[in-house]
Amino acid sequence: MTSSDMENKSGDIARDKDDALLERAFEAARQDTPVPDAQLLRRIMDGAEEIQATFAPAVMPDAFAQRVSLGALLVDALGGFRGLGGLAAASVFGLWLGLSPALGIADFTQAILGGASLDATSALDADYVYLADLGDL
């Protein structure tokens, strides 16, 4: 065995001794675990009750705040109040379009159904004469 091997071996032995020493100390410390007494547990429970009492009233304002913030989020998504104004104007115009009589549709219906008024056909005839005069037809 070389001197280097002997040094390594004595180093290993020293480390093993240290590990054993530490393990005994750690075990002693694990055994020396403090146990909370009733007074400490009571103090901590009192704190828990005190904090829990603050939870219930806090629920309503939080829920209200959440609703408010959801509303604000919707307004933002539509481009803010200016965007909402535009949306309202567009809605009113759409409603007016929907409710107003469909004038062009009436003429078209009459033409299809062969009604008395054939203004649209007459207009086409006029165009035909005009185009024939120009030599296009």
Partner 1 sequence: MALDDSEEIGDEALLVLFAGGDAEAAALLTRRFTPVVLAHAYRLLGDRAEAEDIAQEAMMKLWKIAPEWRQGEAKVTTWLYRVTANACTDRFRRRARAAPLDDAPEPLDEAPGAEARLQEASRGDALNAALAALPERQRQAVLLRHIEGLANPEIAEIMQLSIDAVESLTARGKRKLADILRKRQEELGYDIE
Binding site for partner 1 (CB under 8 A): 17-18, 20-22, 24-26, 28-30, 32-36, 40-41, 43-45, 47-49, 51-52, 55-56, 58
* Shortest reach from residue 30's CB to partner 1, in Å: 6
Nearer to partner 1, 58 or 116 (CB): 58
In angstroms, give the least distance from the CB of 93 to partner 1.
Answer: 47
Relative orientation angle of helices 80-99 and 38-77, to the nearest 10 degrees: 50
Closer by beta carbon to partner 1, 21 or else 78: 21
Q: Per the structure block, which two tokens stand in for 133? A: 């005069």
CB 29 within 8 A of CB 22: no
We find the least distance from the C-beta atom of residue 90 to partner 1, in angstroms, to be: 42
- Report the alpha-carbon distance of residue 128 to residue 132 in Å, rounded: 6
Give 32 or 133: the residue with its C-beta nearer to partner 1: 32
How large is the angle between the packed helices 103-113 and 119-134, nearest 10 degrees?
80
Q: Which is nearer to partner 1, 55 or 96 (CB)?
A: 55
Give the tokens for residue 29. Answer: 């410390």
